[in-house]
Amino acid sequence: QVQLVESGGGTVQAGTSLRLSCAASGQTSRSFYYMGWFRQAPGKEREFVAAISYMGAGTYYADFVKGRFAISRDNAKDTVYLQMNRLEPEDTAIYFCAGDSLRSRIRGSPRYWGQGTQITVSS
């Protein structure tokens, strides 16, 4: 069974940095042309954060994180990363890793999801 497992979450102070990792496994794990990150804050709807194509040439960011976050991937390790800089309290949320073979679905309804990891940014 395909699995996506996030790691790297925790509690940090505003203005600091954190890097999330998402490791993919399973027989179809290498079929993910697009991988990305979503987040869901308390009382809020799930929202898109960032996505990346297989070779890394195509990257996509939500307006609220562009310039602070950077997505990357290491296909040899079947892992996607989210480098989060200058974190703000508003970034507090559960962050989910996601993957799909289709560009049209990666930002809204990707096929595969991780279980999520909690990020808490304190003032």
Dihedral angle over CA of 109, 112, 116, 119, nearest 10: -60
pLDDT tens track for 37-47: 999 999 999 99
Mean per-residue pLDDT, 101-111: 89
Local confidence band at 1 (pLDDT 50, 70, 90 cut-offs): confident
Residue 30's pLDDT band, with cuts at 50, 70 and 90, is low
Show Cβ contacts of residue 3 under 8 Å, excluding neighbours closer than 6 positions. Answer: 24, 25, 26, 29, 114
| Closest CA relative to residue 65, chosen from 86, 95, 34, 42 | 86
Average pLDDT for 72-91: 95
